Amino acid sequence: MKTHTSANSADSLPGGVQLVKVDEDRDGQRIDNFLSGRLKGVPRSLIYRILRTGQVRINGRRAKPDVRLNAGDEVRIPPVRVAEREDAGMPAPGQMNRVEQAIVHEDRDFLVLNKPSGIASHGGSGISFGAIELLRAARPKDTLELVHRLDRDTSGVLVFSRRRSALTALQAVIREGRATKRYMALLQGRLAQARITINEPLRKSILQGGERMVRVDAAGKPSVSHVLRQQQFADAALCEIAIETGRTHQIRVHAAHIGHAVAGDEKYGDRAFNQRMRELGLKRLFLHAMRFEFEIGERSYSFTAPMPEELRSVVNALERQR
C-alpha cells in the first residue's frame, strides 16, 4: 500500500511506503535532515541505514545522505517498524544535562552550543545520540534543526536553528561563502611563516568498515584554509585557522598535508608528536571551533566559545617549557 502526502502533513508510518512531495519551505534541505523531521523518534543510525541500502528514493533515484532536496521532488520513504523506532530508547538525563549546560546563546531563531569534544553533532554509525538528538530529547517542544556540523572530537561553536526560516537563511549564507568560521588548533612543529593559505582539493571516501577517510586529491572538492600563527613553541604552534569551505576533516587533512598535523589527531597525525602532547596532558584532538560569524539581512551574528580548560592547560604547559 502506498500513501502520497505533502511534506507538511501528519506522518503515516504504519501501513507501507510513503511518497512525499517536498514543499517550498523544504527546498534546499538535506535528505537526512528531511527524513529526521518526518520520522520522529527514529534513530539517526536507522535513517542512514535505509539511505545506504537504497530504500529512500528521490524522483525514482537512490538518494545519498548529503543530497539536497528541491521543492516539488517526490521522496519515497520505506515503512519503518515501530520496534526499530524505539530501539535507541531515551538518552540518559546526564547526557541531556551536559548539552543543556553547554548552551552559550539562544534567541527566537538560533540555539548555540559550545559542543564538548566526544559528542557527535548527530547520531549514526553506531552513535545513538548526537547533540541534535540530545537537545530534542531535552526540549521536546522546540523545533530544532542542525545548521552545520563539527567532527565528534572537535569542540566549540555548533549552531542549531529554532525556526525553518532561520535554517534556510543561514544555510544559504554558508553555501554562498558569507559565513566566517574560525578555529584554534595546536599544530606540529615550527611554522616557517606566520600566515599560510592551504588551497588543496579534498576527496572523501568510505572504507570497507564504514570509516571515513579524506585525502588531498585533484579530483576532490575545492577546499581553502587560512592558518595564522598565534604562538610558536619548541615543537608546536598555536594557530587560528579560518576556513572558506567546510569539508569533512578539512583542517586536519590540510594541516597534515603541509607537515603540521593537528595535535591529538589519531587518524591523520604523527604518533611521536601525539605521545609528547599526551605527556603534557592532552587527551583529545586539539581543535576548537572558536567563532562563527555571519549576517542575515541587516542583522549581524557573532557566536563565540571559549577554549576549554583541558586545552588551555596544555598551552600553559608549553609556555612553561619556553
Give pLDDT, residue 210: 63
Q: In the predicted model, is pLDDT for residue 101 greater than 80? A: yes
| Three-state DSSP class for residue 34 | helix
Same fold, 93-164 and 177-320: yes
d(Cα 314, Cα 148) in Å, to the nearest integer?
A: 28
d(Cα 295, Cα 33) in Å, to the nearest integer?
A: 24
Q: In the predicted model, is pLDDT for residue 8 greater than 90? A: no
Binning pLDDT at 50, 70 and 90, where does residue 89 land? low
pLDDT 10s digits, 59-76? 999 998 888 898 899 999
Share of the chain above pLDDT 70, in %: 89
Give pLDDT, residue 175: 87
Q: Which helix (H) or strand (E) holds 49?
A: helix 44-52
Give pLDDT, residue 125: 61
Q: Which residues contact 187 (CB under 8 A, 6 or more apart)?
A: 227, 236, 237, 238, 239, 255, 260, 261, 262, 263
Give pLDDT, residue 275: 97
Mean pLDDT is highest, among 20-24, 133-137, 282-286, for: 282-286
Binning pLDDT at 50, 70 and 90, where does residue 11 land? very low
Q: In the predicted model, is pLDDT for residue 284 greater than 90? A: yes
CB 145 within 8 A of CB 33: yes
Give pLDDT, residue 208: 57
Question: Is 151 one of the catalytic residues?
Answer: yes
6 vs 281, more confident: 281
Give pLDDT, residue 126: 64
pLDDT 10s digits, 36-63? 878 866 777 788 889 988 899 999 999 9
Q: What residue segments make up the domains of the chain, in order of their start?
A: 2-79, 93-164, 177-320
Q: In the predicted model, is pLDDT for residue 129 greater than 80? A: yes
Report the predicted TM-score, pTM, of the whole model to 2 decimal places: 0.76
Q: In the predicted model, is pLDDT for residue 9 greater than 50? A: no
d(Cα 293, Cα 303) in Å, to the nearest integer?
A: 6
Which of 4, 19, 16, 8 minimizes the C-alpha distance to 75? 19
Q: Which three cell numbers stand for residue 236?
A: 608546536
Reported in sequence order, the residue ranges of the chain that DSSP labels E, i.e. its strands, are 2-6, 17-21, 57-58, 61-62, 74-77, 103-106, 110-115, 145-146, 155-161, 180-188, 195-199, 202-206, 212-216, 224-232, 236-243, 287-296, 299-304
Q: Which has the minimum average pLDDT: 80-94, 182-196, 280-294?
A: 80-94
CATH architecture of the domain 177-320 equals: 2-Layer Sandwich (3.30)
pLDDT 10s digits, 183-216? 999 999 999 999 999 999 999 887 756 678 899 9
Give pLDDT, residue 292: 97
Average pLDDT score over residue span 244-252? 93
Considering 32, 73, 109, 151, which one is annotated as catalytic? Answer: 151
Q: Which three cell numbers stand for residue 68?
A: 539536497
CATH code for residues 93-164: 3.30.2350.10
Q: Does domain 2-79 have CATH number 3.10.290.10?
A: yes
Binning pLDDT at 50, 70 and 90, where does residue 88 land? low
d(Cα 132, Cα 29) in Å, to the nearest integer?
A: 16
Q: Which has the minimum average pLDDT: 65-74, 98-107, 174-183, 244-253?
A: 65-74
